[in-house]
Amino acid sequence: MKWKWLSWSLVVLIVSQTLLTKTAANEEAVNAISIEKSVLDLLTPLIGDVTTALQGFIDIGKIGMGVAKFITIISDQTDGNLVPKTKTHHWRSRRQAFNYLHIFNVSLEDMNFGSYIPLADRKMLAMFEVLSDRLDQMENGVNGVANSLRDLANGMQNMVRWEIALNTMEEYIRPINTLYRRFRLYQKMKDKIEDYTLMDFANTVVSHDTHSVMSLMAHLHSMAAPEASLRTSSLDEALSVSALNDPRFFYHVNEKVTRKMILQEKLITENMHDDNRPEQLSLRPSLFRMLQDTLKTSDNCHLHQSPQQLIEGLNIILALTEARGFAMLEFAWMILRVYNEGNFTVEQEVSKKLYLQYSEDIMSEAKSVLDKVPREFFRCDPRHHEEGETYIQLTELLQGYIENEVDMNADGSCSQNCGYYQHARNEGCYMPQSQYCGQHRRCNGIIHDCKFYDADATVCLSRKPYRRYDSITYENRKHLGSYQDCRGTEMKVDSWWRFLYHCSYCLCLCDDGSSPSSDRYISLTPALSDLQKNMIVTGVKFTKQRRVIHVQIQQGQVLPQGQINSSTIQWVETEPIVINNLNYTEGTDYKKLSFEDRSIDLDKLEGPGGHVVTGVRFRMLGSHLNLEIKITPINYTSGVMQPIMSYWISNDNTPAMAKNPRQEIDLHSPDDPTKFPALSKIDSLPDTFMRFVSTDRVKDVAQLTVPFFDSQTVAPTPSSWLSGIELFHKGQPGSGGFLAMKVFNYDMTSHMEVSSNEPRTVLLPKSQ
């Protein structure tokens, strides 16, 4: 009986403990939620919707000013030295005391005894968590940039200086990010973290060793804006001395600092405008200028964004690092005041002034470089070409074709020569049982540009799709096409005499639009983003479906300030076009190319400022395929578009214009572009055009239609707003090359706000 009673007691005890634990856990969860709610309730009357307000405060063009502005709001609400050291503490104003009472929900009696104020530190954590959420959100826009910066260094063996600079920058950034990750953890655990942990964290952040947050921020500033860093170096030294906690020290040093900064400014200015001075000041280039120089000498093939987007990304990485460091410093000063460790008003003011100066200097340097670098992104040739993956092609538009002159006239005569037949048809097959025409696929379209090489030949028939022949070897040793093993596919083709006339075999070009193996169709159907879901074009590529070549688009949902919701990125399916189906009309839904209609215009199309790309299509401009893009007005701050104001833009210039007519680009003796190991180079200019032609007769027996289409995806990573698209040709001497597309990222330099180039000075309280 006794053991039974003990067992029941143990069960009751365990159940009670479990219930108590669950209750405590629930209370902690409610406590964390209530802290966050109280902070939002406090901030909302001041700035409105917190998320929207932070997007307005802190965007890519004004991270520094925005962060400082928000922290000032926090500081205003928690100002007054937070926790008085003694009963005799004096508030700066009645409003300051009221704000303090309001945010921490304490009585005046609690304040007067200098005791610990419940949840003061936790509410500050919650406030800084709101800020950190916004900073982390902005980081999504530069995912992949760090890898591209590293790839750029790895890809250029002679770019040792850039690689060293990049390594140094990362060494300065890494400790700040490590502390910041801990800061984020404490924010998430604000209802559980110990006071000692927060105090230890604060002391670590504001320490004055060589690897302190402020020192690292100063080093990054020096690398990013070396000229400007000379103006603020004295102020950094003032901040790092051990007398920092004595405001009187700063009053005495302030005039000295200001004078030194003015002299340094004068020295820099004089040397910038006098290149002949022997004592010219020598400064290493900034990170941005080093990156610009590296991009100039690189082929940029391994990058995943435009040069401007890469430099913008570097700017954001630096700006976010400085912002995180500053946020931790400000939090540290505030939390130390909460724990009665000191006043720290001067330190807070100095760090703010320095941070704003750093931010403006870095942004100013970045902006000066961004104005000089291209915004275009395109793809280089892949290491290995694969049809359907890296390229697609038109087939049998104009193809080398052997025909005897006797079969190209209704009379069956051989009285003319091959050159006579420039535009003819197959009119029959003379002696099909014994002649070549009876054993080979005929051309049922128009036969163009016939030429005579020799009377007799050995033809190497091709096993490859889209080709009739691999090579032709004439008895006079004239060879057309590649040299390869042709055993098993050889055919003898000999001309003959009939009476006094020689019936010659000619090599012509076949334009057979009825052939089921001739893919010669271009879609005219527009590829549009879903404006109803606030989607814009974020990438493009060429695709081929059911023998028709399309422009396919990638779309993504717009976010404010040039960003894209990465979770919404998707390729928009193209509508399949069925040739010769009554539901699709030639000339409206697609274009069928021919010898007469085979020209395509090469243009760069870009909308005016404040517009993004929301559609792409080909149209017919006379007999030319002509690119058009649809652009839509957009509000940079909100990311809201005006679909009703969308319109199409194009270049309507033609070769027939009296003034500045469109110029043609000729392909000289072109060969299959996939044969070339070297990378293709851009060799076209906007406002030109070219014709689709066959490959060279000597090199390839005129078997392929060039240029090919580069079908690689042209979509920057991370995705961004696009303002334009260009269709261009890339190739090399002797190659048919590729038609390819570029995209142009939205120019955000106009939204980068630099308030002043003048150095900031800290106005400190006078000594007593």
Domain extents in the chain? 2-225+286-373, 399-511, 521-749
Q: Which of 490, 402, 440 is nearest to 697 (CA)?
A: 402
Is residue 757 pLDDT above 70, yes or no?
no
pLDDT tens profile 702-730? 999 999 999 999 999 989 999 999 999 99
Burial (0-12, 13-18, 19+ Cβ within 10 Å), 463:
exposed
Beta strands, E only, 512-621: 521-523, 527-528, 535-545, 548-559, 563-571, 590-592, 599-602, 604-606, 611-621
Q: Which of 495, 501, 500, 449 is nearest to 475 (CA)?
A: 495
Continuous segment of H or E residues that includes residue 617: strand 611-621
Is residue 51 pLDDT above 80, yes or no?
no
Looking at residue 283, what is its pLDDT? Answer: 63
Looking at residue 156, what is its pLDDT? Answer: 54
Alpha-carbon distances of 317 from 48, 59, 142, 169, 639, rounded to whole Å:
28, 13, 7, 10, 22
Continuous segment of H or E residues that includes residue 404: strand 399-404
Looking at residue 755, what is its pLDDT? Answer: 63
Looking at residue 145, what is its pLDDT? Answer: 74
Q: Which residue has the higher pLDDT, 270 or 541?
A: 541
Largest CA distance in the chain: 133
Q: How confident is the model at residue 84 (pLDDT cuts 50, 70, 90)?
A: very low
Tokens of 580: 């010769």
Q: Mean pLDDT over residues 507-533, rounded?
A: 96
Looking at residue 299, what is its pLDDT? Answer: 76
As beta bridge partners, residue 545 has 548
Radius of gyration of the chain from its Cα atoms, rounded to whole angstroms: 37
Q: Which residue has the higher pLDDT, 383 or 97?
A: 383
Is residue 91 pLDDT above 50, yes or no?
no
pLDDT tens profile 420-463? 999 999 999 988 776 788 888 899 999 999 999 999 999 999 98
Q: Mean pLDDT over residues 464-484, rounded?
A: 92
Looking at residue 297, what is its pLDDT? Answer: 81
Q: Percent of the chain beyond pLDDT 70? A: 79
As beta bridge partners, residue 550 has 543
pLDDT tens profile 551-583? 999 999 999 888 999 999 999 999 899 998 889
The pTM assigned to this predicted structure is: 0.82
Q: Mean pLDDT over residues 361-390, rounded?
A: 93
Tokens of 760: 């900031």
Burial (0-12, 13-18, 19+ Cβ within 10 Å), 160:
exposed
Tokens of 252: 């005495």
